[in-house]
Structure 1
Amino acid sequence: MKILIVDDEVDILTLFKDVLESVGHEVDIAIDGESGLKKFRNKKYDVIVMDYRMHGKNGIDVAEEMLKMDRNTKIIFASADSSIKEKALEMGAVGFLLKPFDIDQIIKEVEKIEKN
């Protein structure tokens, strides 16, 4: 699957990228919402893994813009802010991982999408 990870923490980007590539996925990364939107406009992704708190636009705003461009976009939020879980799911996210989480959880979330 083609996956875009949008997070402003380089260590998180690297970890998620390495783990998802190790199980056969093609992974691109974006360090903030604007660069995530730019990549999203230029390439079709199967899954977006989105942080909430980032410099510039927050993850909810970025996800809403992505969903306006493609309503079928599959977005998994990975955030330390549990207060946005309900909003993320209501606006169309297909999953929510509360940081910190066991890294296997991200693989399981992506596999759920892949099976559907």
Structure 2
Amino acid sequence: MTNDHNHDHEHDHDHEYITLIDEEGNEELYEILFTFDSEDFDKSYVLVFPSGSEEGEEVELSAFSYTQADGGLEGTLSAIETDEEWEMIEEVLNTFISDEEAEEAE
């Protein structure tokens, strides 16, 4: 069994979406919260949440590392495998949330 997921990007003016296909072959649309690169782990990461969530609603975030295919419109998502990666992702997420809250307060 593999934790890799195939995904395709769909572009919108304000948001980017990806379609994740689960182990049973079901497609689900997710909205990209943000992406970032880590030099320490030499990987790119994406944080996503289910599309259609209401603003202010508590949502479950999912994080994956990804490898972009040629052209940048497709790629391969992989599960996060180490505690060190999870800790780094949590730090980046906390910084992102702090920055968002600071912008809203201005």
TM (norm. structure 2) is: 0.29
TM (norm. structure 1) is: 0.28
- Higher relative strand content: 2
Higher-RCO chain (CA-CA 8 Å, sequence separation at least 6): 1
